[in-house]
Amino acid sequence: MSFPILYERINDPEFPKGYYYAHLPTFGLTTHGEGIEGAKAAALDLISVWSDGDYIEKKAEDFIYSFVEVWVPPKPKEVLRKLESFGFEVVRTSGSHIVLRHEDGRQTYVAMLTKDLPIGTYKAILKQANISKEDFEDAK
């Protein structure tokens, strides 16, 4: 018997970095673990407990799983805060845009919208600031 498992990266600051949810739609259950393998082991344990151990033999081939990362763009206030943590300082505002400059000359603009930043705007800010997406997302 095969069961689907859907993995989702946990971006909640309450969880340590590198944790994933394992969703089990067949059973309506969700668990989590460190990394994909940890989430998979937690899912196997959860199914075993849920079924009193009768419903499952722990074989990898009994599970179909796929990993899809869904990215949620940050809010402008979060972008501003993180840019400041990289040494950028607010130099001026122009309407709803804040101009930030680093002491080494890099400059970028953040539109203080009330909604999430569009992906293109987010990428342009990172490019202007010369910061990788990974470094930016890891910043506090």
Question: What pLDDT score does 140 carry?
Answer: 76
Question: What pLDDT score does 1 carry?
Answer: 56
The model's pTM:
0.53
Structure tokens at 91: 């130099």
Domain 3-67: which topology?
Double Stranded RNA Binding Domain (3.30.160)
Question: What pLDDT score does 25 carry?
Answer: 85
Domain with CATH 3.30.160 in the chain: 3-67
The architecture (CATH level 2) of 76-138 comes to 2-Layer Sandwich (3.30)
